[in-house]
Amino acid sequence: EVQLVESGGGLVQPGGSLRLSCAASGFAFSNYAMTWVRQAPGKGLEWVSAISGSGGGTFYADSVKGRFTISRDNSKNTLYLQMNSLRVDETAVYYCAKEGWLQSLPSLDSWGQGTLVTVSS
């Protein structure tokens, strides 16, 4: 069974930093791209960042480019999101999700339970 468990969320001041982790199990982690998606309170889903299975390809939403860094340690089956210069409006639940390929088309077929990041003074 695929399991994704996020951690590292919490309260941080505006301009501060936080590193999120996502521990994966139940699948061959290094074979799959992974994604971070966030959801502000009462709002919709926002794609944030993604990384290829090898870690050689990284992708970011324009809103976080230059401030967030996605990475992975395939020896530890763990995905990370380093978030710097955080803004109040980035308060959200951050989900990690596994990219799957069904009928040769991509989707996010497994999700973690999310970790809450609160940016406030």
Query: Where are any strands of DSSP class E within the chain?
Result: 3-7, 10-12, 18-25, 34-39, 45-51, 58-60, 68-73, 78-83, 92-102, 105-111, 115-119
Kindly state whether residue 115 participates in binding another protein, applying the rule CB under 8 A.
no
Position 91 contacts another protein (CB under 8 A): no
The answer to whether 61 contacts another protein (rule: CB under 8 A) is: yes
* Separation of first and last alpha carbons in the chain: 40
Q: Is 90 helix (H, G, I), strand (E, B) or coil?
A: helix
50 binds another protein per the rule CB under 8 A = yes
Residue 99 contacts another protein per CB under 8 A: yes
Interaction of residue 5 with another protein, rule CB under 8 A: no
Given the complex with another protein, which of 104 and 121 has the nearer CB atom? 104
Nearer to another protein, 24 or 37 (CB): 37
